[in-house]
A and B are shown apart, each in its own frame.
Chain A
Amino acid sequence: SQTIHQWPATLVQPVGSPLSLECTVEGTSNPNLYWYRQAAGRGLQLLFYSVGIGQISSEVPQNLSASRPQDRQFILSSKKLLLSDSGFYLCASGSGELFFGEGSRLTVL
């Protein structure tokens, strides 16, 4: 089975600061990769998905961006964080049966 590594696990950042969350995948090649966000008390919202290197699709407009520089690496970034960017960010891999990482909890102050 696949293993998804995410870091950092916890992050506290001021408004207007940049962001970089990283995700790497083990146990598979050429996976579909996803970034989800879960705001406090809410369901998971799909932010980005990628079917290959350099191929990124965005599901919702926002000040976040994603990149896939290598087959099993997926990065979520922002140039300037907003308060509304706070949440629990999850990286996932797969098709149908998704494997999720342990998440990165971001608090923007």
Chain B
Amino acid sequence: DAKTTQPPSMDCAEGRAANLPCNHSTISGNEYVYWYRQIHSQGPQYIIHGLKNNETNEMASLIITEDRKSSTLILPHATLRDTAVYYCIVSPYYGGSQGNLIFGKGTKLSVKP
């Protein structure tokens, strides 16, 4: 089972910031928070990840609460192409049995003109 909880769907107006929440109250000290998105009928795309500090890259910003029990992915200026299912995942960094990414149902973000 996924170790995260996300709202099933959200709407956002084009050009506005999209703030996608995620609860991960049972996160362990060695687990990172990852965000991926999946545009319809395509493979998932990595967006960003973080451990404790807030992170920013060319795609998005990740805000992690001080207790690490929740996080928010921020798309600063959403476009129609950002319409996708967004997955929040917690996992240790390395692959193999300890690092498999368990995808839940995610949040379907609809960006509207």
Contacts and interface: CB of A to CB of B under 8 A. Distances in A.
Q: Is the interface of B mostly helix, strand, loop or mixed?
A: loop
A84 interface: no
A45 B31 CA distance: 20
A92 B49 CA distance: 17
Given A95-B95, A96-B32, A49 B100 contact: yes
Interface residues of A, number: 27
B113 interface: no
B96 A44 contact: no
A49 B98 CA distance: 11
Interface residues of B, number: 26
B17 interface: no
Q: Is the interface of A mostly helix, strand, loop or mixed?
A: strand
A51 interface: yes
Contacts of A34: 95, 100
Contact of A49 (B42, B91, B97): B97
Interface in B42-99: 42-46, 49, 87, 91, 93-97, 99
